[in-house]
């Protein structure tokens, strides 16, 4: 027999506990163990007024932002709705059933105000890195660095040639926030001063973004998300935003290494990266100035593809300051004999080493060496000795292991885009982009902590 329809009856009293309704194996429980925001209030003390209407608890806003980035909730409007409805999110944010959720506009107001002025998001990120170190997940011996393109929140239709959009003609008082931030970073090595090359297009809504075709497909506006990771467990020890070009990304690497050593007292013994970081200046900075072994392929244009001998086919004789060609003849940067030997001594500068015309004319290998020239010359870079040292590092037995560990940073970028949903930016301007990258890196470290340090099984 079919029973009568059940009508929901409102009870006069409820005995309800959020603690009992959040599963023991839920991700928020694992993450909550590693979120320590007790220092947030002290960090923001100078940015709040002691009089007037009480403001929203900053810890609540940070916890809500962490929920959003950990679970890929990109919209702050939707984040407020999800926290309102989801019991686990309420539990993580320390909200009761009757507590109100902040309006989505509170995030923008605090982000552009006290959060940015106090660099709070960086403070939270560094607190997470410190916790990873306490848990023994950061060895500090080997680091890896890389950058990934993230699409900016602009359209090509709203862009123009840089000459038609001159920054010097803009009134900062009437410009949007992203444009004002761009004007403030014109002398910044990661943005305006990163390169003297002029881009083909400039986005009106976010002029700091870079027009790039680095993905070998249709060009688009983007920023570079730079990660410096410890290769033991793939913990992100620093993150930085820059324009999408090699100069800016290399500058971000230097900035992150210096900041990590200053903040945590950690300097790696070696670092792994791809060829984009293999320029002479970068290798000199790493190997000589910072005493870090570079497991980085040397950026070298001396290799030929036309079938003739490349520079690597010539043997360097450091003792006599000369090259030996494949035919056994010597090549010198000068054939003059000076009475003062010091005038011919090796110096730190670029030189061209040439063979004698008489040696090349009758050589059997001329067709494979210099078929279109009378003599063969080999250029030696100013810091070729450092480049040779980097080649020795990449030829060592440890290099395959270092390169395999470097793949962890690429896996983090894949996780960032596919799982956390950060394939396209939501905020504009250098500051907004830095905020997004910092929060995303914090979320990735928290998820890694939850994975590598699982909770003990529930009792009973």
* pLDDT for res 1: 44
Nearest to 153, CA basis, from 221, 217, 213, 105: 221
Residue 459 confidence (pLDDT) = 62
Number of domains in the chain: 3
Q: Are residues 252 and 367 in the same domain?
A: no
Q: Are residues 180 and 221 in the same domain?
A: yes
Q: Does 49 lie in the same domain as 160?
A: no
Let me know if residue 97 belongs to a domain. Answer: yes
Q: Dihedrals φ, ψ of 53, to 5°?
A: -70, 135
SS3 342: helix
53 burial level (CB within 10 Å; 0-12, 13-18, 19+): exposed
Low-confidence ranges of the chain (pLDDT < 70): 1-15, 49-54, 163-174, 186-187, 189-190, 192-196, 337-348, 458-460
Contact 209, 176 (CB under 8 A): no
User: Is residue 156 located within the same domain as residue 270?
Assistant: yes
Instruction: Tell me: do 243 and 159 sit in the same domain.
Output: yes
Looking at the domain assignment, is residue 52 inside a domain?
A: yes
Range of the domain at 169: 139-298+392-430
Assess if residue 227 is contained within a domain. Answer: yes
Q: Look at residue 169 in the predicted model and tell me its pLDDT.
A: 59
**pLDDT the model gives residue 30:** 92
Q: pLDDT, tens digit, for every residue of 108-136?
A: 888 888 888 888 999 999 999 999 999 99
**Neighbour tally for 310: CB within 10 Å:** 13
The answer to whether residues 208 and 267 belong to one domain is yes
pLDDT of residue 245: 87
Let me know if residue 358 belongs to a domain.
yes
Buried b / exposed e over 4-15, threshold 16 CB at 10 Å, is eeeeeeeeeeee
Give the whole-angstrom CA distance, residue 183 versus residue 145.
28
Q: Tell me if 123 is assigned to some domain.
A: no
Q: What is the DSSP letter of 244?
A: S
């Amino acid at each position: 027999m079919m029973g009568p329809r059940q009508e929901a009856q409102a009870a006069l009293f409820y005995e309800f506990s959020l603690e009992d309704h959040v599963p023991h194996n839920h991700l928020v429980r694992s993450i909550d163990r590693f979120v320590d925001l007790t220092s947030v209030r002290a960090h923001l003390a100078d940015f709040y007024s002691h009089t007037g209407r009480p403001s929203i608890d900053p810890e609540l806003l940070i916890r809500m932002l962490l929920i959003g980035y950990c679970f890929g909730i990109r919209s702050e409007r939707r984040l407020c709705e999800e926290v309102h409805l989801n019991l686990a999110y309420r539990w993580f944010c320390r909200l009761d059933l009757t507590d109100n959720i902040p309006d989505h506009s509170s995030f923008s107001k605090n982000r552009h105000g006290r959060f940015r002025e106090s660099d709070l998001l960086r403070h939270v990120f560094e607190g997470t890195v410190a916790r990873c170190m306490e848990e023994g997940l950061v060895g500090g011996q080997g680091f890896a660095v890389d950058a990934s393109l993230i699409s900016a929140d602009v359209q090509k239709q709203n862009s123009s040639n840089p000459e038609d959009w001159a920054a010097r003609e803009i009134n900062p008082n009437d410009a949007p926030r992203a444009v004002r931030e761009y004007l403030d970073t014109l002398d910044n090595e990661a943005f305006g001063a990163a390169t003297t090359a002029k881009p083909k297009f400039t986005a009106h809504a976010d002029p700091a973004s870079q027009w790039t075709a680095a993905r070998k497909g249709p060009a688009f506006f983007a920023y570079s998300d730079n990660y410096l990771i410890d290769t033991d467990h793939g913990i992100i020890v620093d993150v930085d935003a820059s324009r999408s070009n090699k100069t800016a990304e290399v500058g971000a690497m230097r900035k992150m290494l210096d900041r990590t050593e200053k903040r945590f007292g950690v300097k790696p013994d070696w670092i792994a990266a791809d060829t984009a970081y293999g320029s002479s200046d970068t290798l000199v900075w790493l190997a000589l100035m910072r005493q870090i072994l570079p497991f980085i392929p040397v950026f070298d244009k001396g290799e030929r593809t036309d079938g003739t001998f490349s520079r690597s086919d010539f043997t360097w004789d450091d003792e006599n300051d000369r090259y030996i060609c494949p035919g056994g003849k010597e090549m010198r940067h000068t054939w003059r004999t000076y009475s003062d030997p010091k005038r011919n001594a090796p110096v730190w500068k670029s030189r061209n080493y040439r063979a004698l015309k008489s040696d090349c004319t009758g050589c059997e290998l001329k067709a494979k060496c210099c078929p279109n020239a009378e003599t063969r010359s080999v250029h030696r870079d100013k810091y070729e000795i450092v480049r040779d040292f980097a080649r020795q590092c990449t030829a060592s037995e440890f290099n395959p292991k270092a390169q395999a560990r470097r793949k962890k940073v690429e896996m983090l970028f894949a996780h960032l885009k596919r799982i956390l949903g950060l394939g396209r930016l939501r905020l504009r301007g250098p500051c907004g982009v830095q905020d997004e990258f910092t929060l995303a890196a914090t979320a990735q470290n928290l998820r890694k902590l939850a994975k590598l340090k699982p909770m003990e099984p529930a009792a009973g």
